[in-house]
Structure 1
Amino acid sequence: MKMGRLVLMKIEKEYLNLEDVYEIRIFDAAEVDFYNSTPHEFDIEDDPIQEFINNISDNVHIFIPHEDGKDFIIQYLSSNILETYNISQEDAKGRLLSKISPLCFYMLHDYLFEIYTNHSTKEMRIVYYDNQNELIKKITAKIVFYMERIFIIVSNVGGTIGNPAGMLDKTLDENQNSIMENLSQTGSYYIINGKYTWSQGIYNIINRNKEESDEQHNIVFDLAIPEDNYKVDKILSIPNKETSQCDEVIRIVDAEGILKLIEVTVYSYFDDKGVFIRQGWINVLTQRHGESSESIDFLLDGSKSSMKLAWLIEPLNKKLYSFSKGFYNLIEKDYGEYVHSREILNNIAEKEVVDELKKLADGDISKVDETLTYKVDGNPQNIKIVNLYIERFEYNNNVHSLGFLSDVTEEMLKKEQLIESNERQLVLIKELHHRVKNNLQIINSFLNLEKRAYKNNPELVIEHMQTRLTSLALLHEKTYNSPDFKNINLNECLTDQDVSTKKLVNSPMEIEFKTYVDENINVSIEVITPLLLIIDELTMIAIRNAFPDKTTLNKKIIKKVTMSDKDTVLLTFEEIGIGINDSKDITDVIGCEIIKSLTKQLDGTITSIKNENGIVYELVFPIEMMHTIH
């Protein structure tokens, strides 16, 4: 091969993380690009494994590392490759990969070298496209290092280089047919020049393995019971030189002695080359559901959600359908209770999905791939979310269909809950940042006020700031441990605030803090933030004015929080000490700015009353503010 051809050819390499496979994509390649006739260079002796591979596989290639992996000597190529290029094993053996196929060397060397160096294993896929970017061939392989050699084991080949793009569609149809025949009692055969070829589905029907003599006679009709031999004669007597069709229902006894009623459809036609072909399609009409459902569900065994998965064989055929157990579990009916008809569509909530399924059944579209809401027995209170896929296709001049269902109700609910939770967390985080910013602004404002009021007493300013910051830190801790910002337990917060305040007071044992809160009062962060700061201010006023003499005994601060009605909270703050001389107005006592501002923020009102023990402050505020987060 000339290297100029490599320049013209487009090659892409990529590691597909989700599939854990290395993919090479080749565009506009031809068979001549992959092989150069080159002289023999190395004598390679066969070893025992060579003989073993010769007898078991057409899809193994063996390479021997050369010059520490710089190149690779060919020991063995699969017979498929040899046939493709019309060469023998001796034409390839003992040649360097870089010379016999520069293109393959360019594509594979890095992977082969890594496997040789690390003694690892790689999954690989090579995909070929024509000059119109249409897929024409796909190869999947595993590359293994073993016995100082590199083994490339090809596990799947689809298409052929140079084939038209339609080859892919043909392959898909054959795959669909293979699935049907292996999961159901359906099979096909054809006869050319007196020799039969039988699909695997036929052997499933007659319950035996393939035998060499099967091409010589009709292995299905041989099992017909004597009473139905006249129908067999009718089928076999179709004129051999004209296009015709015959449909019959006959009874056979399979290899295990089971009587089966089968439907036989036979076609006779000439192919494009004028060769006469007789082709038959066979469906089992009896014992279908029980047997095929068991075989289908057997494939699903071992899956934790097997009862949430369902195979649908011929779902568009009211006579020949076969569904796995997962289907009956999903619709919550026993097999015997269910009658297959379009009536089941009435239980699907989405009208557009129902319309699609009707179009599919009528042949207007070829497939349906949807997620739908299924109402069990039409009950809107018992719904299931279901992934549905059904495809119809033609095979042997008949229309067939395959599909599956998957109950994803739990997964969808969890997904919705996760989305809601994530959205809520985003709102809460955003709001938390907003609150932190506001609280820092409040502290900054208080600091400016007190710097002016207590410019000769900086230690007092620091003490007040410590108290406020401690309360805000406590509040944020409670917020983190709360499921949201609107249900923070007030009793816990005030109790913890008392503990923190005691630690900040110079003589903590001289002042007794008592707090009483009505059970289960929960408030939002909008309420509790200014409330804690108001209590801090009142506490600092009491310590500074009501308890000036540290020798005074029985100093107490008592707080009571009660519900005055269903919407309003009453906080009573009582200091038991020597009191304040002038108590006619709370604003006169504390300089107005801080508590007045916080009370306004709380949408509340505060009053003070002088009694014989000290001063009682009463703060009334709504339990839920108009701008509370929901």
Structure 2
Amino acid sequence: MHIERQYRELEKIEEIRVHNVDSSKFYHEAPQVMKPDKVPFSKLMKHVPADIDVFLPVDDGEDFIIERIGWNMLQRANVNLEDVEYRLFSQCSPFFYDLLKDDLKEVYKTGNTKALRIIYYISDRIQTLTNIHIILEDNIIYLISDLKENKPEAEISEEEQKLQDNENKANLIEYFSQTGSYYKTRDEYVWTPGIYNIINRSKEPRDAFYNIIFDLVIPEDKPLVEELLETMSPETDTYENIIRISTPGGQIKYLDTYLYSKFDSNGEEISHYGLFKDISVDSHKHMTRPVDFMLNGFNQNSKLSLLVEPLSKRYEFSEGFYKIIEMPKEDYVHNESIIDYIEEENVREKLKMLINGEIEEINTILTFNVNGDEENQKICELFIERFTYGNKTHSIGFLTDVTIARQKQKELIESNATKNILIKEVHHRVKNNLQVLNSFLNLESPSKPLYSKRYPI
């Protein structure tokens, strides 16, 4: 077992990495040094997701008496609360005492809250990760910890499946537009899949606790990050700039960066949101973004168009869209006015409902008057779906020109109708001919014998 410490300046947290620890060393048997006085909210703590440990400082902060330990830690150590309460921390758990004594003493002496993160490794693989806040209140030390543990995959619910589907759609959209974002509340980041596409690596368990973009900023642009940290306040809650990062593979990328923070009435940051767009250009002045490669796959098809974020100002359409509406890309202005060129009123109303968030998707056939000209109409299939992933609403869809296919279908239907009429006419005539033939046969068939008694054979 070995332990590493590192202070993360950006996150303002001290990180402790513990490799190959033996959980049997967590607690030792030790005598009580005080008579137990039950904490009144002990039962309630069983239902709180975070552990709350309570310590009473003794010997001027050189040691601590355990008043209570959180239930998750008790389970991991396989002990009961009665086995640890009102024992000296140094005797009951030498391992954790050595790990935390300096931090506990620092909080006791200064009164300042301190944030820690303990990461437990087994053979360089993260097994558990614990975020800790150490707080001093009324000369009592409170240690609040939130345990994250890697668990085996289990059967997911219908709601979880829906969230996963939305994540896949968001991944597709971000892959097309080469964007990514994060949302941070308290001490945790939620990174969208597009971020990993930008930085060219897969997701890691500890990414929720780092700003994995700012950690990659090249040295020349570090002052921009420092400017960000100093700028964000209730008075200046937005930030926009272009920064450069070096990906784990050594590739330099330019990111258009937009950040927005929320603050409470005391000026404390509650949360913040970050959006990054890869605007990198290679040496041949061609965009290196995957969206350009993917969209180019549709550009040779003038009948089919891919609509990325059609309900947003961040839209990106394939070339087929501009061929369908017969307007150069550089002349097109994306707004609701294009809806007025749709012939069917019910389709126009549904699109407006989709834009306003009243419905989640539209899947229909419409008549589009090119530039409002009723003499130049196209029949199109339209599908657009809107969905939420994280704290953002996205949309994706397809617009397909089916005018020729519909015309052929109509001609085929009309042709089949004509054939049916001809077949019915043939059947009618055959029936009539059969009736005539039958009549002749009836005429040829004698009702009486051809011979008589007068003319014997």
**Scaled by the length of structure 1, what TM-score is found?**
0.38
Cα displacement (A) at 1:346: 1.6
Partner of 2:244: 253
Letter in 2 for 1:416: K
Partner of 2:318: 324
Cα displacement (A) at 1:444: 4.5
Q: Is 1:440 paired with 2:431?
A: no
Q: Secondary structure at the match of 2:374?
A: coil
Cα displacement (A) at 1:432: 0.6
Q: Is 1:232 paired with 2:232?
A: no
Partner of 1:381: 375
Q: Is 1:390 paired with 2:388?
A: no
Partner of 1:341: 335
Q: In 2 relative to 1, CA 378–328 (structure 1 residues): closer, same or farther, beyond 3 Å?
A: same
Q: In 2 relative to 1, CA 209–391 (structure 1 residues): closer, same or farther, beyond 3 Å?
A: same
Q: 2:311, 2:261 → 1: CA distance?
A: 22
Q: 1:197, 1:394 → 2: CA distance?
A: 14
Cα displacement (A) at 1:195: 7.1
Counterpart selection for 1:173 from 166, 173, 186: 166
After TM superposition, the structure 1 = structure 2 runs for residues 11-160 of structure 1, keeping only pairs within 5 Å, are 160=155
Q: In 2 relative to 1, CA 420–331 (structure 1 residues): closer, same or farther, beyond 3 Å?
A: same
Q: 2:297, 2:238 → 1: CA distance?
A: 32
Cα displacement (A) at 1:431: 1.2
Q: Is 1:353 paired with 2:353?
A: no
After TM superposition, the structure 1 = structure 2 runs for residues 152-301 of structure 1, keeping only pairs within 5 Å, are 160=155, 163=157, 165-189=158-182, 198-205=191-198, 208-209=200-201, 216-220=210-214, 222=217, 225=221, 228-229=224-225, 232-234=228-230, 246-253=237-244, 255=246, 259-265=254-260, 280-284=273-277, 291=289, 293-298=291-296, 300=298
Q: Deviations over 1:296-328 (max 9, x none)?
A: 325558xxx84422221221113x111122212
Q: In 2 relative to 1, CA 428–369 (structure 1 residues): closer, same or farther, beyond 3 Å?
A: same
Equivalent pair of 2:385/2:397 in contact (CA under 8 Å) = yes
Larger relative contact order (CA 8 Å, sep ≥ 6): 2
Q: 2:223, 2:434 → 1: CA distance?
A: 98
Q: 2:304, 2:230 → 1: CA distance?
A: 43
Q: 2:196, 2:228 → 1: CA distance?
A: 19
Q: Secondary structure at the match of 1:332?
A: coil
Structure 2: where are the runs of 5+ without partners?
1-152, 451-457
Cα displacement (A) at 1:442: 3.3
Pairwise CA RMSD of aligned residues? 4.2
After TM superposition, the structure 1 = structure 2 runs for residues 578-597 of structure 1, keeping only pairs within 5 Å, are none
Q: 1:339, 1:294 → 2: CA distance?
A: 20
Q: In 2 relative to 1, CA 413–287 (structure 1 residues): closer, same or farther, beyond 3 Å?
A: farther
Q: Secondary structure at the match of 2:213?
A: coil
Cα displacement (A) at 1:354: 0.7
Q: Secondary structure at the match of 1:364?
A: coil
Partner of 1:314: 309
Equivalent pair of 1:315/1:322 in contact (CA under 8 Å) = yes
Q: 2:338, 2:154 → 1: CA distance?
A: 40
Letter in 2 for 1:251: I
Structure 1: where are the runs of 5+ without partners?
1-157, 270-275, 457-630
Equivalent pair of 1:373/1:386 in contact (CA under 8 Å) = yes
Partner of 1:3: none
Equivalent pair of 1:385/1:408 in contact (CA under 8 Å) = yes
Letter in 2 for 1:353: V
Q: Secondary structure at the match of 1:417?
A: helix
Cα displacement (A) at 1:218: 3.8
Letter in 2 for 1:357: L
Partner of 1:423: 417
Cα displacement (A) at 1:342: 1.0
Q: Secondary structure at the match of 1:363?
A: coil
Cα displacement (A) at 1:338: 0.9
Alignment length (residue pairs): 280
Q: 1:231, 1:394 → 2: CA distance?
A: 32
Letter in 2 for 1:284: K
Q: Which structure: greater helix fraction?
A: 1
Partner of 2:399: 405
Q: 2:309, 2:367 → 1: CA distance?
A: 22
Letter in 2 for 1:233: L
Q: 1:440, 1:211 → 2: CA distance?
A: 80
Equivalent pair of 1:367/1:390 in contact (CA under 8 Å) = yes
Q: 2:307, 2:256 → 1: CA distance?
A: 21
Q: 1:434, 1:393 → 2: CA distance?
A: 58
Q: In 2 relative to 1, CA 400–373 (structure 1 residues): closer, same or farther, beyond 3 Å?
A: same
Cα displacement (A) at 1:448: 6.5
Q: 2:410, 2:331 → 1: CA distance?
A: 34
Q: Deviations over 1:389-416 (max 9, x none)?
A: 1122233323222222222222222222
Q: 2:279, 2:428 → 1: CA distance?
A: 71
Equivalent pair of 1:225/1:251 in contact (CA under 8 Å) = no
Equivalent pair of 1:231/1:250 in contact (CA under 8 Å) = no
Q: Deviations over 1:433-463 (max 9, x none)?
A: 10111123334556677999xxx9xxxxxxx
Q: Secondary structure at the match of 1:328?
A: helix
Q: 2:245, 2:328 → 1: CA distance?
A: 28
Q: In 2 relative to 1, CA 238–167 (structure 1 residues): closer, same or farther, beyond 3 Å?
A: farther
Q: 1:249, 1:332 → 2: CA distance?
A: 36
Equivalent pair of 1:387/1:405 in contact (CA under 8 Å) = yes
Q: Deviations over 1:18-62 (max 9, x none)?
A: xxxxxxxxxxxxxxxxxxxxxxxxxxxxxxxxxxxxxxxxxxxxx
Letter in 2 for 1:396: G
Letter in 2 for 1:252: I
Letter in 1 for 2:178: Q
